[in-house]
Amino acid sequence: MSNKIIPLKVNSNFFFERAVRCLDKMNYKGAIKYFKRAIEHDPYNALNHCNLAGVMSEIGDYRESNKILFHVINYIDRKAYECYFYIANNYANMGDFDRAATYANKYLEVDINGEFASDAEDLLEFFGDVDDDEEYDKETINDDVAQRLLEEGKFEEALKELAKILAEYPDYHVARNNLALTYFYLGKTEAAIKESKKVLEVDLDNIHARCNLAIFYYEQQLEELMNVELNYLRAVTPLFDDHIYKLALTLGMLGEHEQAYRHFRRIIRRETANDYQVYFMLAIAAANTNRHKIALNYLNKAQKLDPGSDIPKFYYELIKNAIKLNTTVSKLGYFYNLPFEEHLKRVELRLEKKVTTEILQDPIVKMSLSWALKHSNETTKLNVIRLLSIVFDDEVKREFDAFLQSPEESDELKKVILILFHQYDIKGPYEVVLKRKKTEVTEEQVSKMYITWKPEWIQVLELVIGTLDDDSGDNTTLVADLESIWIEFLSKKGTDMPKRFHANSWAAALEYAVFMLHGYRKTQAQIANKYSISTATLSSKYKELLKICKRLQRR
């Protein structure tokens, strides 16, 4: 008997066959792995690259799919004309009809009798053929910067970028729809409506423009105009995931929860790439239509996909409690945050003037505040303490008492609560766990906590808050951020502060830091002039804040 070991010959075909087997079993992860291995063994085989691109498209990663396809057509096989058709399909799935039409036309130009010629013609017929003389290559447009600025809430900067793009490509609907949203977030709703109408003048069935207009009219309380758009949205059934998502979210925000539920389910059925936010929104639509058990199931899926978040946990407990009490929950918001954060965001976007007592008394909002006080990070907890102090009552006091006696909570936050008790004339002594030891703190000891804040440190806050209304209106979130950033800075830097302390310099730096955090359009020169200091001084103090305060570092 021979002891020779016959080596297994492994080549690209071996991995190709394994990838195909994975596809047969809907194992996309495995298929991606083996197609990549096949490419490693035969990097100039266009078929393996195209197969990998096909799988990426199947899981919804259309951008990566197109990246691979462009690589094939540019560097491996310039006659792989089918790549143009695949690219067109990917852009269509992303909702970018202009680019989709460009590459569908390109495919027909180079391979009019090709395998996918009929499909390319159908694709063009679906969203309207584009005249080659009027079309341009959208690959030359770099709108990623504008998109990122918009997502980060830097609306003034996004406005400039979008204006540049539209100056060169005035019929680029993606940019104009984003411009409309930017105007809306800046409080310029009339300008937002005007931009959306410009899109509809050219493309009457543009889903993004229709959805945006419906929201704009809703926020302006133009009910009749809003209903015109809403009736259109109720009747339409888009094919592409990007459009379905936009439609479902808009319908949910407008209270059409049954329709929102139907469309979000369409995405889940089609989408193999797991998105925790889609599962969350589907859960909210289910809860808003009294499908509570189904909502719990989707919240579980969202939690598994985003295990570090407390948001699915909160809504799970909320809905589970409703089932236990045989009650219903309704009017839950669709955005991926806690209910009180929803209102803070609306204030930040200037859709609401301030977080009012009426809002904070809403049972679900109040429950989310209670939840966040136990489960959130320290910055959020400080904001929650400030908000709860607005509606201070016996229930809030019980929440604060429990917080004071928890060994896990921050001593600095406990001092904030003790100061609030003192301000509300709550008689001491107060039972509190400090440095993990249970103790009693007298009213006199609390009053000394004020003294640890030097008068000039308090003056900084007073200077900024005193002029805040002139700049930004009554804004709870700005005040909360001013206080939390200044407290964080002093808690780490206080003892090292220079003896020569200039309150105006720090007030200017603090105001600039918070305005930058919220995306307000204020230059260092404007704020320095307001406080009668030099721009160099403001810049120096701002850099110190930025170096120490984690909240500013995450902006």
Instruction: Categorise residue 86: left if φ over 0, alpha if ψ from -120 to 50, beta otherwise.
Output: alpha
Q: Where in the chain is the domain with CATH 1.10.472.10?
A: 455-552
| Token reading at 281 | 């929104």
pLDDT, tens digit only, all 555 positions of the chain: 445 554 545 577 888 888 888 888 778 888 898 889 888 888 888 898 998 999 888 888 888 999 999 989 888 888 889 999 999 988 888 877 778 888 888 888 888 888 888 888 878 777 654 443 334 444 456 677 888 888 777 788 888 889 988 988 888 888 999 999 988 888 888 999 999 999 998 888 889 999 999 999 998 889 999 999 999 999 887 777 788 899 999 999 999 999 999 889 888 876 455 788 999 999 999 999 999 999 999 999 999 998 888 889 889 988 998 898 888 887 888 888 877 776 666 655 555 555 566 666 667 777 778 777 877 777 778 878 877 877 788 888 888 999 999 998 888 888 888 888 877 778 888 899 988 889 988 887 876 665 456 677 778 877 887 776 544 444 556 776 787 788 778 777 666 676 677 888 988 888 888 888 776 777 888 888 888 888 888 888 888 888 887 666 655
Q: Give the span between the Cα atoms of 320 and 4, in whole angstroms.
A: 65
Portions of the chain given CATH number 1.25.40.10: 12-127, 143-236
Q: Check residue 369 and give its pLDDT.
A: 80
Secondary structure class of 167 (helix, strand, coil): helix
Cα–Cα distance measured from residue 483 to residue 513, given in angstroms and rounded to the nearest whole number: 12
Is residue 212 within 8 A of residue 177, CB to CB? The reply is yes
Q: Give the per-residue pLDDT at 209.
A: 94
Q: Let me know if 115 is exposed, middle or buried by CB neighbors in 10 A (0-12, 13-18, 19+).
A: exposed
Distances (CA, A) of 41 to 16, 37, 231, 344: 10, 7, 55, 54
- The rounded Cα 193 to chain-centroid distance in angstroms is 23
> 158-178 burial, b if ≥16 CB within 10 A, otherwise e?
bbebbeebbeebebbbbbbbb
Between helix 97-110 and helix 82-93 the angle, nearest 10°, is 170
> Which residues, 6+ apart, have CB-to-CB distance to 261 below 8 Å?
282, 285, 286, 288, 289, 291
**H or E segment to which residue 31 belongs:** helix 28-41
CATH class of the domain defined by 143-236 = mainly alpha
pLDDT reported for residue 134:
39
* Residues whose CB is less than 8 angstroms from the CB of residue 469 and which lie 6 or more positions away in sequence, other chains included: none
Nearest to 279 by CA among 296, 256, 259: 296
C-beta of residue 346 within 8 angstroms of C-beta of residue 352: yes
For residue 131, the model assigns a pLDDT of 40
pTM of the model: 0.55
**Distance between CA atoms of 524 and 535, rounded to whole angstroms?**
6
Q: For domain 12-127, give the fold.
A: 1.25.40
Q: What CATH class has 455-552?
A: mainly alpha
Residue 551 half-sphere exposure toward CB, CA atoms < 13 A: 24
**Calpha distance 284→281 (Å, rounded):** 5
CA proximity to 245, closest of 214, 275, 286, 205: 275
Would you put residue 326 in left (φ > 0), alpha (ψ -120 to 50) or beta? left
Q: How far apart are CA 230 and CA 77, in angstroms?
A: 48
- Determine contact, residues 335/384, Cβ cutoff 8 Å: no
Distances (CA, A) of 87 to 116, 273, 365, 417, 506: 12, 19, 45, 58, 54
pLDDT at position 476 is: 59
First to last CA, the chain: 71
Q: What is the pLDDT of residue 135?
A: 45
* CA–CA distances in Å: residue 252 to residues 145, 256, 262, 330, 421: 29, 5, 11, 12, 41
